[in-house]
Amino acid sequence: MKKNQSPAKAPAPAEVNMSDKEVSVQQLNELLSDGTGFYSLPTQHFNEVFPRIYVGNAFVAQNIMRLQRLGVTHILNAAEGNSFMHVNTNAEFYAGTGITYHGMKANDTEHFDLSAFFEEGADFIEKALAHKDGKGKVYVHCREGYSRSPTMVIAYLMLRHKMDVRTALLTVRHKREIGPNDGFLRQLCQLNERLAKEGKLKTK
């Protein structure tokens, strides 16, 4: 799950003949690592990665007072479940706090199709930010705030702000150390390709 060494650099056949619109997992990994193939783990429990969007870990997600001090109005749990790799919260956990909850039962594995949640997650984040006449704050988390939750925020920036995958990934990485697994990076590349074909990305 944790990244420390860069993957082998042999390109897959599909990556050999690439246009500007196509982005490879390897290229995204190079943006995430420090240039030597090593990735940094988050140094903070949470970070504001885009105005009023926080990405963080389970520790803060389970600390109601901390969330209320931050002014969080909405929680997106991208790791709902009760195993060691998940965060066992639900709408009941936040009952009476004034915080709106949405959970996704996602696993942090390369084979898990997180893209099935991209639209749903983007809708929830968009509604959260529009809350209280545009004063809502959303806390997007998984267990560590390292793979699942940043992937959801990157997808939101692509879907709702027309950012290409590199710009969206760097926007989040600039504020927090992240390392989505290669499966998630591949799904973001596929989203990038689809949005580019549909003319839904800002052209440089």
Show which residues are catalytic. Answer: 142
The rounded distance, in Å, linking the Cα atoms of 75 and 152 is: 13
Provide the pairing of β-strand 53-56 with 46-50.
antiparallel
The rounded distance, in Å, linking the Cα atoms of 31 and 174 is: 10
Q: How far does CA 86 lie from the centroid of its chain?
A: 15
Greatest extent of the chain over all pairs of C-alpha atoms, in Å: 55
At 134 the three-state DSSP class reads helix
The helix (run of H) or strand (run of E) holding residue 89 is: none
Report the candidate in 125, 131, 155, 166 with the shortest Cα–Cα distance to residue 22: 166
**Gyration radius of the chain over CA positions:** 17
The rounded distance, in Å, linking the Cα atoms of 163 and 145 is: 21
The rounded distance, in Å, linking the Cα atoms of 112 and 38 is: 24
